[in-house]
Protein backbone atom coordinates (compact mmCIF):
# COMPACT_ATOMS: atom_id res chain seq x y z
CA UNK A 1 0.00 0.00 0.00
CA UNK A 2 1.40 3.35 -1.01
CA UNK A 3 1.84 6.13 1.50
CA UNK A 4 -0.35 9.14 0.79
CA UNK A 5 0.97 12.57 -0.12
CA UNK A 6 1.86 14.63 2.92
CA UNK A 7 2.33 18.39 3.08
CA UNK A 8 5.62 18.77 4.92
CA UNK A 9 6.71 17.46 8.30
CA UNK A 10 4.17 17.31 11.10
CA UNK A 11 5.19 17.82 14.73
CA UNK A 12 2.79 15.85 16.91
CA UNK A 13 2.14 16.50 20.62
CA UNK A 14 4.53 14.66 22.92
CA UNK A 15 1.89 12.38 24.41
CA UNK A 16 1.29 8.60 24.33
CA UNK A 17 -0.18 7.18 21.12
CA UNK A 18 -3.25 5.97 22.98
CA UNK A 19 -3.99 9.49 24.23
CA UNK A 20 -3.58 10.96 20.75
CA UNK A 21 -6.07 8.43 19.38
CA UNK A 22 -8.62 9.22 22.10
CA UNK A 23 -8.29 12.98 21.73
CA UNK A 24 -8.16 12.92 17.94
CA UNK A 25 -11.16 10.61 17.59
CA UNK A 26 -13.17 12.80 19.93
CA UNK A 27 -12.33 15.89 17.86
CA UNK A 28 -13.56 14.05 14.76
CA UNK A 29 -16.83 13.17 16.49
CA UNK A 30 -15.95 9.46 16.60
CA UNK A 31 -15.62 8.67 20.32
CA UNK A 32 -13.82 5.46 21.29
CA UNK A 33 -14.03 3.54 24.56
CA UNK A 34 -11.20 2.35 26.87
CA UNK A 35 -11.30 -1.23 25.55
CA UNK A 36 -11.07 -0.03 21.98
CA UNK A 37 -8.18 2.26 22.86
CA UNK A 38 -6.36 -0.69 24.39
CA UNK A 39 -6.77 -2.62 21.14
CA UNK A 40 -5.37 0.26 19.13
CA UNK A 41 -2.40 0.51 21.49
CA UNK A 42 -1.76 -3.22 21.03
CA UNK A 43 -2.10 -2.77 17.25
CA UNK A 44 0.64 -0.12 17.31
CA UNK A 45 2.94 -2.38 19.37
CA UNK A 46 2.40 -5.39 17.11
CA UNK A 47 2.90 -3.32 13.97
CA UNK A 48 6.18 -1.86 15.21
CA UNK A 49 7.38 -5.31 16.24
CA UNK A 50 6.55 -7.00 12.94
CA UNK A 51 7.80 -4.02 10.94
CA UNK A 52 11.32 -4.84 12.11
CA UNK A 53 11.08 -8.10 10.14
CA UNK A 54 9.09 -7.02 7.10
CA UNK A 55 8.09 -3.81 5.34
CA UNK A 56 4.56 -3.08 6.59
CA UNK A 57 4.75 0.70 6.88
CA UNK A 58 7.22 3.53 6.31
CA UNK A 59 5.85 5.21 9.45
CA UNK A 60 7.86 3.92 12.41
CA UNK A 61 6.98 6.33 15.23
CA UNK A 62 4.14 5.18 17.51
CA UNK A 63 2.55 8.64 17.62
CA UNK A 64 2.64 8.96 13.83
CA UNK A 65 1.07 5.52 13.44
CA UNK A 66 -1.65 6.60 15.86
CA UNK A 67 -2.50 9.72 13.85
CA UNK A 68 -1.54 8.97 10.23
CA UNK A 69 -2.80 5.39 10.18
CA UNK A 70 -5.29 4.72 12.98
CA UNK A 71 -7.03 8.09 13.20
CA UNK A 72 -6.91 8.41 9.42
CA UNK A 73 -8.59 5.00 9.11
CA UNK A 74 -11.24 5.91 11.68
CA UNK A 75 -12.34 8.78 9.46
CA UNK A 76 -14.12 6.27 7.22
CA UNK A 77 -16.91 6.58 9.80
CA UNK A 78 -17.40 10.19 8.67
CA UNK A 79 -18.82 8.72 5.45
CA UNK A 80 -20.14 5.22 6.17
CA UNK A 81 -21.40 2.99 8.95
CA UNK A 82 -20.61 -0.64 9.66
CA UNK A 83 -21.74 -3.42 11.95
CA UNK A 84 -23.61 -6.70 11.93
CA UNK A 85 -24.78 -7.64 8.45
CA UNK A 86 -22.59 -5.07 6.66
CA UNK A 87 -20.12 -7.18 4.72
CA UNK A 88 -16.88 -5.21 4.20
CA UNK A 89 -13.91 -5.80 1.89
CA UNK A 90 -10.67 -3.81 2.26
CA UNK A 91 -8.63 -3.90 -0.96
CA UNK A 92 -4.85 -3.51 -0.87
CA UNK A 93 -5.12 -3.66 2.91
CA UNK A 94 -1.36 -3.70 3.58
CA UNK A 95 -0.91 -3.39 7.35
CA UNK A 96 -4.69 -3.40 7.83
CA UNK A 97 -5.65 0.22 7.21
CA UNK A 98 -8.51 1.00 7.21
CA UNK A 99 -9.95 -2.52 7.44
CA UNK A 100 -8.68 -3.62 10.85
CA UNK A 101 -9.42 -0.24 12.41
CA UNK A 102 -12.97 -0.44 11.07
CA UNK A 103 -13.27 -3.92 12.59
CA UNK A 104 -12.00 -2.78 16.01
CA UNK A 105 -14.45 0.12 16.05
CA UNK A 106 -17.39 -1.98 14.78
CA UNK A 107 -16.44 -5.54 15.83
CA UNK A 108 -19.62 -7.24 14.58
CA UNK A 109 -18.73 -6.29 11.00
CA UNK A 110 -17.84 -9.28 8.76
CA UNK A 111 -14.48 -8.27 7.27
CA UNK A 112 -12.42 -9.56 4.35
CA UNK A 113 -8.87 -8.24 3.87
CA UNK A 114 -7.40 -8.56 0.36
CA UNK A 115 -3.73 -8.17 -0.45
CA UNK A 116 -1.35 -9.65 -3.01
CA UNK A 117 1.47 -10.01 -0.43
CA UNK A 118 1.11 -13.13 1.71
CA UNK A 119 3.39 -11.90 4.51
CA UNK A 120 1.16 -8.90 5.16
CA UNK A 121 -1.83 -11.19 5.53
CA UNK A 122 0.18 -13.37 7.93
CA UNK A 123 0.60 -10.28 10.11
CA UNK A 124 -3.10 -9.49 9.96
CA UNK A 125 -4.10 -13.04 10.85
CA UNK A 126 -1.77 -12.86 13.85
CA UNK A 127 -3.16 -9.45 14.79
CA UNK A 128 -6.78 -10.61 14.66
CA UNK A 129 -5.95 -13.44 17.06
CA UNK A 130 -3.91 -11.18 19.35
CA UNK A 131 -6.79 -8.70 19.58
CA UNK A 132 -9.45 -11.38 19.98
CA UNK A 133 -11.28 -10.41 16.79
CA UNK A 134 -13.50 -12.97 15.06
CA UNK A 135 -15.10 -12.72 11.64
CA UNK A 136 -11.91 -11.67 9.84
CA UNK A 137 -11.10 -13.40 6.53
CA UNK A 138 -7.91 -12.84 4.56
CA UNK A 139 -7.75 -13.19 0.79
CA UNK A 140 -4.37 -13.58 -0.91
CA UNK A 141 -5.03 -12.43 -4.47
CA UNK A 142 -4.84 -9.67 -7.02
CA UNK A 143 -8.03 -7.63 -7.08
CA UNK A 144 -8.29 -8.17 -10.85
CA UNK A 145 -8.43 -11.94 -10.32
CA UNK A 146 -10.65 -12.04 -7.23
CA UNK A 147 -13.07 -9.59 -8.85
CA UNK A 148 -13.97 -12.25 -11.40
CA UNK A 149 -14.53 -14.95 -8.78
CA UNK A 150 -18.24 -15.57 -8.16
CA UNK A 151 -17.54 -16.04 -4.45
CA UNK A 152 -16.56 -12.38 -4.20
CA UNK A 153 -18.03 -10.55 -7.18
CA UNK A 154 -20.84 -8.17 -6.18
CA UNK A 155 -21.00 -9.76 -2.70
CA UNK A 156 -20.00 -6.82 -0.48
CA UNK A 157 -22.02 -4.00 1.03
CA UNK A 158 -18.96 -1.79 1.46
CA UNK A 159 -15.54 -1.88 -0.21
CA UNK A 160 -12.72 0.34 1.02
CA UNK A 161 -9.35 1.31 -0.43
CA UNK A 162 -6.81 3.67 1.09
CA UNK A 163 -3.77 5.02 -0.75
CA UNK A 164 -3.79 2.25 -3.35
CA UNK A 165 -4.12 3.92 -6.79
CA UNK A 166 -5.69 6.73 -8.81
CA UNK A 167 -9.51 6.82 -8.58
CA UNK A 168 -10.23 5.65 -12.14
CA UNK A 169 -7.97 2.65 -11.52
CA UNK A 170 -9.53 1.98 -8.13
CA UNK A 171 -13.01 1.97 -9.61
CA UNK A 172 -12.13 -0.91 -11.93
CA UNK A 173 -10.44 -2.82 -9.11
CA UNK A 174 -13.13 -2.23 -6.49
CA UNK A 175 -16.59 -1.75 -8.00
CA UNK A 176 -16.84 -5.36 -9.28
CA UNK A 177 -16.90 -6.49 -5.63
CA UNK A 178 -19.71 -4.11 -4.58
CA UNK A 179 -23.31 -5.32 -4.67
CA UNK A 180 -25.77 -3.15 -6.57
CA UNK A 181 -26.88 -0.50 -4.07
CA UNK A 182 -23.69 -0.91 -2.04
CA UNK A 183 -20.84 1.55 -1.52
CA UNK A 184 -17.20 1.99 -2.42
CA UNK A 185 -15.14 4.35 -0.25
CA UNK A 186 -11.88 5.74 -1.64
CA UNK A 187 -9.74 7.37 1.08
CA UNK A 188 -7.60 10.02 -0.56
CA UNK A 189 -5.07 12.74 0.12
CA UNK A 190 -5.53 16.52 -0.26
CA UNK A 191 -5.87 16.44 -4.06
CA UNK A 192 -8.15 13.43 -4.23
CA UNK A 193 -11.12 15.41 -5.50
CA UNK A 194 -9.10 16.30 -8.60
CA UNK A 195 -9.35 12.63 -9.61
CA UNK A 196 -13.15 12.71 -9.85
CA UNK A 197 -13.35 14.42 -13.26
CA UNK A 198 -10.99 12.00 -15.06
CA UNK A 199 -12.92 9.08 -13.49
CA UNK A 200 -16.28 9.90 -15.11
CA UNK A 201 -15.84 7.42 -17.95
CA UNK A 202 -14.88 4.63 -15.53
CA UNK A 203 -17.90 5.41 -13.35
CA UNK A 204 -20.22 5.19 -16.35
CA UNK A 205 -18.73 1.94 -17.65
CA UNK A 206 -18.58 0.20 -14.27
CA UNK A 207 -22.00 1.15 -12.89
CA UNK A 208 -20.97 3.65 -10.22
CA UNK A 209 -22.03 7.16 -9.26
CA UNK A 210 -20.28 9.67 -7.00
CA UNK A 211 -22.50 10.14 -3.96
CA UNK A 212 -20.38 12.72 -2.19
CA UNK A 213 -16.84 13.96 -1.58
CA UNK A 214 -16.01 14.81 2.03
CA UNK A 215 -13.05 17.13 2.67
CA UNK A 216 -11.61 17.22 6.18
CA UNK A 217 -8.44 17.82 8.18
CA UNK A 218 -6.74 15.20 10.31
CA UNK A 219 -6.31 16.20 13.97
CA UNK A 220 -3.05 17.76 15.16
CA UNK A 221 -2.42 19.44 11.80
CA UNK A 222 -1.53 16.10 10.22
CA UNK A 223 -2.87 16.91 6.77
CA UNK A 224 -5.87 17.39 4.51
CA UNK A 225 -7.88 14.40 3.32
CA UNK A 226 -10.75 13.56 0.99
CA UNK A 227 -13.27 10.74 1.30
CA UNK A 228 -14.84 9.83 -2.06
CA UNK A 229 -18.04 7.83 -1.67
CA UNK A 230 -19.34 5.93 -4.71
CA UNK A 231 -22.74 4.23 -4.94
CA UNK A 232 -23.06 1.11 -7.14
CA UNK A 233 -26.13 1.73 -9.32
CA UNK A 234 -25.84 -1.04 -11.92
CA UNK A 235 -24.08 -4.40 -12.26
CA UNK A 236 -20.50 -4.13 -13.51
CA UNK A 237 -20.18 -5.60 -17.04
CA UNK A 238 -18.50 -9.01 -17.21
CA UNK A 239 -15.56 -7.55 -19.16
CA UNK A 240 -14.32 -5.84 -15.97
CA UNK A 241 -11.98 -5.99 -14.23
CA UNK A 242 -9.52 -6.58 -17.05
CA UNK A 243 -6.55 -8.90 -16.56
CA UNK A 244 -4.02 -8.21 -13.81
CA UNK A 245 -1.96 -5.07 -14.39
CA UNK A 246 -4.10 -3.68 -17.21
CA UNK A 247 -6.17 -1.23 -15.11
CA UNK A 248 -2.97 0.49 -13.92
CA UNK A 249 -1.26 0.47 -17.33
CA UNK A 250 -4.32 1.61 -19.30
CA UNK A 251 -6.86 3.30 -17.00
CA UNK A 252 -10.42 3.60 -18.26
Q: Which CATH number does the domain housing residue 186 bear? A: 3.40.50.150
Does residue 33 form part of some domain?
Answer: no
Rounded distance between C-alpha atoms, residue 143 and residue 115, angstroms: 8
Does residue 52 form part of some domain?
Answer: no
pTM as predicted: 0.94
Rounded distance between C-alpha atoms, residue 27 and residue 21, angstroms: 10
92: exposed, middle or buried (Cβ count in 10 Å: 0-12, 13-18, 19+): buried
Tens-digit pLDDT string for the chain (252 aa): 333 434 456 788 899 999 999 999 999 999 999 999 999 999 999 999 999 999 999 999 999 999 999 999 999 999 999 989 999 999 999 999 999 999 999 999 999 999 999 999 999 999 999 999 999 999 999 999 999 999 999 999 999 999 789 999 999 999 999 999 999 999 999 999 999 999 999 999 999 999 999 999 999 999 999 999 999 999 999 999 999 999 999 999
87 is in which domain, residue-wise? 75-249
Does residue 9 form part of some domain?
Answer: no
pLDDT score for 10 = 76
Does residue 59 form part of some domain?
Answer: no
CA 150 to chain centre: 23
Does residue 117 form part of some domain?
Answer: yes
Does residue 8 form part of some domain?
Answer: no
CA distances from 238 to 173, 221, 228 (A): 13, 44, 24
Listed residue (229, 165, 225) closest to 189, CA to CA: 225
Torsions phi, psi for 208 (to 5 deg): -110, 165
pLDDT score for 58 = 93
Give per-residue burial for 19-37: e unless 16+ CB within 10 Å, then b.
ebbbebbeebeeebeeebb
CA angle, residues 111, 163, 77, in degrees to nearest 5: 50
Strand order in the sheet with 224-232: 136-140, 111-115, 88-91, 156-162, 178-188, 224-232, 208-217
Does residue 61 form part of some domain?
Answer: no
Amino acid sequence: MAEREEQGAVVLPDRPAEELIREGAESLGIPVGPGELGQYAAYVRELLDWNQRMNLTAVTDAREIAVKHILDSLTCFLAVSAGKGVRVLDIGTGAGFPGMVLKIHAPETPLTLLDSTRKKLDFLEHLAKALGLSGVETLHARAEDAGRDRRYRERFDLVTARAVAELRVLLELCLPFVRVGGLFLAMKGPRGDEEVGPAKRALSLLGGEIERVIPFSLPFGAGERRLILVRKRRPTPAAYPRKAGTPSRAPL
